[in-house]
Amino acid sequence: SRDYDEGTDLTSFRLAFSVGGGVAILIIAGVLGQLISDDAQRYMISGIVGGVISVLSIYWCIFGTIGYMEKKAAFEGRSLNATAAIDELQESFLTQLKSVLSNRPFLFVVGIYMFSWLALQITAAVIPFYAKSWMGTDESLVALLVQGPAIIMMFVCARLSKRIGKKNLYFLGSGLWIIVQSALYFLQPGQLNILYGLCILASFGVATAYIVPWSILPDVIDLDELNTGRRREGTFYSFMTLLQKFGLAIGLFLVGAALDASGFDKDSVVQSDSALNAIRFFMGPVPLILVVCGVVLVYFYPITREFHAEVMLKLAERRLEKD
């Protein structure tokens, strides 16, 4: 979609299913854990179920959108074929990298996404240790209390974005998220009701961190089309997906390295003070600092609703000139 708000609606819908898939896997894993005692068999069945669902989802997207893409291409006066993709493939990786990195707003999107995604992944990675070793509760329940409400919050964020804009939405969600992360650092063992309430509040910040970076990316692609005359969704989305994998790897590495350096013992029920402090530090201050960095970049992000409207007007005028 070329519509500023409709893109956010579509993003929230897509990401709601993405988070919903994670929640479904947690539930399936819990059910299988009750039914199957053998770890190897349980993991194999979980992998098969997840793989089948993933493959079916991919083909559902392909066959469900091909008709729309053909109509869209016809409306825009272009042919839906592999020519554009072949042109991109013929460019070297360095050429494509230089091209996308020359797009200044895209650099802001990259920074916003990396800081938000790192904060999410570090929090997700440390939740099991925080819940079990510090708070003494079930880690699966804590994860569900964050991810479950986040599905609903995706649609709330989409509605709010129409009223207050994408940048203000990020400020609002991040502000709440910063408060929650601060409170989690100071939370004491046994304060489970407060923990559960904070998890539900955090779901709004999580939804914001998911939605905003992906919803501003199409605006950057529209600007790139105006500047280059080429529509290169594949290039931009592939780099964002690559960054997603890097963010996940970096987050897991940092948490693992910190726990190892602090003397965390995975076989021990009771952890040392240094290990507990490391867990709390990565549950509070570390993601908090990352979110603040994301807020700073969003503040300076140059594409507003008005700026995007001007871009779309110029693109429409260009198409009329071609016709």
Superfamily of domain 4-70+103-322: MFS general substrate transporter like domains (1.20.1250.20)
Cα–Cα distances in angstroms (integers) from residue 34 to residues 22, 29, 39, 104, in the given order:
19, 9, 11, 51
Domain boundaries, the chain: 4-70+103-322
Q: How confident is the prediction along the chain (323 residues), in pLDDT tens digits per residue?
A: 667 888 889 889 888 988 888 888 778 877 888 888 888 888 888 888 888 988 998 888 888 888 877 777 776 666 666 555 555 555 666 777 787 888 899 999 999 999 999 999 999 999 999 999 999 998 888 988 998 899 999 999 999 999 999 999 999 999 999 999 999 999 999 899 999 999 999 999 999 999 999 999 999 999 998 888 888 888 888 888 888 888 889 888 999 999 999 999 988 888 899 999 999 999 999 999 999 999 999 999 999 989 999 999 998 888 787 76
